[in-house]
Amino acid sequence: MVPGTMVRRPHNVGLIISTRVITFALCGLFVNMSGHRYDCAHDYAHKDCYNAKGKCRKINLYLDYENALTLADDDINENWEIYREKFLRGDFP
Protein backbone atom coordinates (compact mmCIF):
# COMPACT_ATOMS: atom_id res chain seq x y z
CA MET A 1 0.00 0.00 0.00
CA VAL A 2 1.20 3.54 -0.75
CA PRO A 3 2.34 5.49 2.34
CA GLY A 4 -0.18 8.11 3.42
CA THR A 5 -3.12 6.38 1.78
CA MET A 6 -6.15 5.20 3.64
CA VAL A 7 -8.40 2.22 3.10
CA ARG A 8 -11.73 2.35 4.85
CA ARG A 9 -15.25 1.01 4.91
CA PRO A 10 -17.92 2.35 2.54
CA HIS A 11 -19.53 5.75 2.91
CA ASN A 12 -23.22 5.86 2.10
CA VAL A 13 -25.34 8.97 1.61
CA GLY A 14 -28.99 9.01 0.59
CA LEU A 15 -31.74 11.60 0.63
CA ILE A 16 -35.31 10.41 0.99
CA ILE A 17 -38.26 12.80 1.12
CA SER A 18 -41.84 11.62 1.60
CA THR A 19 -40.70 7.98 1.20
CA ARG A 20 -39.48 8.75 -2.34
CA VAL A 21 -35.78 8.86 -3.20
CA ILE A 22 -35.01 12.06 -5.09
CA THR A 23 -31.22 11.76 -5.21
CA PHE A 24 -28.50 9.50 -3.88
CA ALA A 25 -24.79 8.78 -3.90
CA LEU A 26 -23.15 5.74 -2.30
CA CYS A 27 -19.42 5.32 -2.42
CA GLY A 28 -16.86 2.71 -1.68
CA LEU A 29 -13.82 4.79 -0.77
CA PHE A 30 -10.38 3.28 -1.23
CA VAL A 31 -6.90 4.77 -1.35
CA ASN A 32 -7.70 8.49 -1.63
CA MET A 33 -10.31 8.02 -4.36
CA SER A 34 -13.55 6.22 -4.95
CA GLY A 35 -13.13 2.64 -6.18
CA HIS A 36 -16.78 2.65 -7.10
CA ARG A 37 -19.69 5.00 -6.69
CA TYR A 38 -23.41 4.65 -7.25
CA ASP A 39 -25.30 7.84 -8.01
CA CYS A 40 -28.02 9.44 -10.09
CA ALA A 41 -26.08 12.30 -11.65
CA HIS A 42 -26.92 12.87 -15.31
CA ASP A 43 -30.57 12.02 -14.46
CA TYR A 44 -30.16 8.24 -14.41
CA ALA A 45 -29.05 5.67 -11.84
CA HIS A 46 -25.61 4.28 -12.56
CA LYS A 47 -22.43 2.89 -11.07
CA ASP A 48 -19.04 4.48 -11.72
CA CYS A 49 -16.11 2.05 -11.33
CA TYR A 50 -12.58 3.44 -11.05
CA ASN A 51 -9.25 1.69 -11.15
CA ALA A 52 -6.19 2.99 -9.30
CA LYS A 53 -5.08 4.93 -12.40
CA GLY A 54 -8.33 6.93 -12.32
CA LYS A 55 -9.90 5.36 -15.40
CA CYS A 56 -13.68 5.09 -15.14
CA ARG A 57 -16.32 2.67 -16.38
CA LYS A 58 -19.93 3.86 -16.15
CA ILE A 59 -22.62 1.16 -15.84
CA ASN A 60 -26.28 2.10 -16.36
CA LEU A 61 -28.43 0.28 -13.77
CA TYR A 62 -31.72 0.67 -15.68
CA LEU A 63 -33.54 1.02 -12.32
CA ASP A 64 -35.62 3.70 -10.65
CA TYR A 65 -33.84 5.60 -7.88
CA GLU A 66 -35.48 3.65 -5.04
CA ASN A 67 -34.43 0.25 -6.38
CA ALA A 68 -30.99 1.53 -7.42
CA LEU A 69 -30.39 2.86 -3.89
CA THR A 70 -31.33 -0.51 -2.39
CA LEU A 71 -29.10 -2.37 -4.87
CA ALA A 72 -26.20 0.01 -4.22
CA ASP A 73 -26.46 -0.24 -0.45
CA ASP A 74 -26.63 -4.04 -0.52
CA ASP A 75 -23.80 -4.38 -3.06
CA ILE A 76 -21.41 -2.07 -1.22
CA ASN A 77 -22.13 -3.60 2.17
CA GLU A 78 -21.72 -7.16 0.90
CA ASN A 79 -18.81 -6.72 -1.51
CA TRP A 80 -16.69 -3.74 -0.39
CA GLU A 81 -13.76 -5.91 0.70
CA ILE A 82 -13.65 -7.68 -2.68
CA TYR A 83 -13.85 -4.31 -4.46
CA ARG A 84 -11.03 -2.96 -2.25
CA GLU A 85 -8.76 -5.88 -3.14
CA LYS A 86 -9.43 -5.51 -6.87
CA PHE A 87 -8.84 -1.77 -6.67
CA LEU A 88 -5.55 -2.20 -4.81
CA ARG A 89 -4.40 -4.67 -7.52
CA GLY A 90 -5.16 -2.03 -10.16
CA ASP A 91 -8.28 -3.75 -11.50
CA PHE A 92 -11.75 -2.26 -11.83
CA PRO A 93 -13.92 -3.08 -8.79
Q: From CA 90, how far away is CA 93, in angstroms rounded?
A: 9
Query: What pLDDT is recorded for position 43?
Result: 86
Please check whether residue 1 lies inside any domain of the structure.
no
Please check whether residue 6 lies inside any domain of the structure.
no
Q: Which amino acid is at 61?
A: L
Please check whether residue 3 lies inside any domain of the structure.
no
**Element spanning 78, H or E:** helix 65-89
Q: Which domain holds residue 29?
A: 11-89
Q: From CA 35, how far away is CA 49, in angstroms rounded?
A: 6
The tally of domains found in the chain comes to 1
Model confidence at 35: pLDDT above 70: yes
Which residue, 72, 76, 87, 73, is CA-closest to 30?
87
Q: Name the band, by pLDDT with cuts 50, 70 and 90, for residue 29.
A: low
Please check whether residue 18 lies inside any domain of the structure.
yes
pLDDT tens column, 37-82: 888 888 899 988 888 788 889 999 999 988 998 898 888 888 888 8
Please check whether residue 19 lies inside any domain of the structure.
yes
**Element spanning 56, H or E:** strand 56-60
